[in-house]
């Protein structure tokens, strides 16, 4: 599996914020972007919401 570049990750963050969706992808572990503020969080954090 290919890794995302920092530019691709930034683009996904922006898309998640604009669309208001929780967007997830894998790095070493799964990364989720909180649509409310565009911050990164682990999957376990996302499941608690």
| Structure token pair of residue 22 | 């929780």
pTM for the model stands at: 0.46
* DSSP one-letter string for the chain: -PPPPHHHHHHHHHHHHHHT--EEEESSSEEEE-TTT--EEEHHHHHT-
pLDDT of residue 43: 54
Closest CA to 29 of 46, 42, 45: 42
Which residues of the chain fall short of a pLDDT of 50? 45-47, 49
**Domain boundaries of the chain, sorted by first residue:** 6-47
Bridge partners (DSSP) of residue 32 are 24, 41
Q: CB of 38 within 8 A of CB of 47?
A: no
């Amino acid at each position: 599996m290919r890794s995302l570049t920092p530019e691709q990750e930034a683009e996904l963050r922006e898309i998640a914020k604009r669309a208001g969706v929780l967007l997830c992808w894998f790095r070493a572990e799964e990364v989720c972007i909180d649509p409310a503020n565009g911050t990164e969080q682990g999957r376990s954090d996302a499941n608690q919401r």
